[in-house]
Structure 1
Amino acid sequence: MLLKTKGVLKMITREHFLAVLHGESNEVFSWTMSFFNELLAEKLLGKDCIPSDAIPQKEFNFGASPQADWAVKALYAERAGMPAVPVGWGVGIYFGHGGPGEFREKSISFTENKRLTLYETGVHKEVRYNPHFYHHYNYPLDELTMDMAINLPNPDDPDRYQGLADEVSYHKNRNRMTFTSLNGFFSGIHYFLYSYEKFLMDLLLKPDEVKVLIDRLGEYNLKVAEHLLQAGVDLICCCDDLGSGNSLLMSPELYRRYFRPWHAALAELCHRYGAFLHLHSHGNINLIMKDLYEIGVDILNPLDPYENMDLSELADRYGDRITFAGGLDKFFFDWSPEEQQAFLENLFVKVKKGFFIMDSGGIPENVTREGWKCFEEAKAALKNKYQR
Structure 2
Amino acid sequence: MNGMKFCKKLHLDIAASAVSVFPRKVIRGGYIDEYGRIMKFDKYKGDGTYILGYHGGHFRNFEDYESWEPLNPNDEIRMMHFRAGREAQKQMNNEVYSFPSTGALMECSWEGFGLETFSRILIHHKQAKKIFDDHGKFTLEMVKILAENNAQVVILWDDYGFKNGLFMSPRNYRTYIFPWIKQICDAAHKHDCKIMLHSCGDIYDIFEELVKLGIDAFHPIEPSTANPDYDIFELHEKFGEKITFVGNIAPQMLATGTIAEIEEYSKKLIRELAPGGGYIFSSGHSINPAVTLDRWQAVLNIREKYGNYPINVPD
- Secondary structure, aligned partner of 1:305: coil
**1:1-388 residue pairs with structure 2 within 5 A?**
69=1, 72-86=2-16, 91=17, 99-100=18-19, 102-105=20-23, 108=26, 115-121=29-35, 123-131=37-45, 134-137=53-56, 139=58, 141-144=59-62, 148-162=66-80, 164-165=82-83, 167-168=85-86, 171=89, 174-175=93-94, 177-191=97-111, 193-203=112-122, 205-307=123-225, 308=228, 309-333=230-254, 334-351=256-273, 352-354=275-277, 355-383=279-307, 386-387=311-312
* Percent identical: 20
Structure 1 residue 181: Cα displacement: 1.0
Structure 1 residue 296: Cα displacement: 0.8
Specify which structure has the bigger relative contact order, considering alpha-carbon pairs within 8 angstroms and separated by 6 or more residues: 1
Change (3 A) 1:340 1:250: same
- What is the CA–CA distance in structure 2 between the aligned matches of 1:73 and 1:383, rounded to whole Å? 24
- What is the CA–CA distance in structure 2 between the aligned matches of 1:310 and 1:221, rounded to whole Å? 29
Q: Is the 8 A contact 1:302 1:327 kept in 2?
A: yes
- Secondary structure, aligned partner of 2:215: coil
Q: Which amino acid aligns with 2:300?
A: E
1:20-60 C-alpha deviation (Å, 9 max, x unpaired): xxxxxxxxxxxxxxxxxxxxxxxxxxxxxxxxxxxxxxxxx
Question: Aligned residue pairs: how many?
Answer: 299
Q: Which amino acid aligns with 1:119?
A: D
- What is the CA–CA distance in structure 2 between the aligned matches of 1:344 and 1:329, rounded to whole Å? 10
Structure 1 residue 339: Cα displacement: 1.1
- What is the CA–CA distance in structure 1 between the aligned matches of 2:27 and 2:158, rounded to whole Å? 28
- TM-score scaled by structure 1? 0.69
- What is the CA–CA distance in structure 2 between the aligned matches of 1:371 and 1:181, rounded to whole Å? 28
- What is the CA–CA distance in structure 2 between the aligned matches of 1:363 and 1:167, rounded to whole Å? 20
Q: Is the 8 A contact 2:21 2:103 kept in 1?
A: yes
Change (3 A) 1:162 1:280: closer
1:321-343 C-alpha deviation (Å, 9 max, x unpaired): 21000122342111110111111
Structure 1 residue 73: Cα displacement: 4.1
1:56-107 C-alpha deviation (Å, 9 max, x unpaired): xxxxxxxxxxxxx2xx444333333433344xxxx3xxxxxxx32x131278
Question: Which runs of 5 or more residues in structure 1 are unaligned?
Answer: 1-68, 92-98
Structure 1 residue 225: Cα displacement: 2.1
- Secondary structure, aligned partner of 1:134: strand
Change (3 A) 1:184 1:153: closer
- Secondary structure, aligned partner of 1:284: coil
Q: Which amino acid aligns with 2:204?
A: N
Question: Which runs of 5 or more residues in structure 2 are unaligned?
Answer: 46-50
- Secondary structure, aligned partner of 1:282: coil
- Secondary structure, aligned partner of 1:278: strand
- Secondary structure, aligned partner of 2:55: strand
- TM-score scaled by structure 2? 0.83
- What is the CA–CA distance in structure 2 between the aligned matches of 1:242 and 1:324, rounded to whole Å? 17
Q: Which has the higher strand share?
A: 2
Moved more, 306-315 or 155-164: 155-164
Q: Which amino acid aligns with 1:117?
A: Y
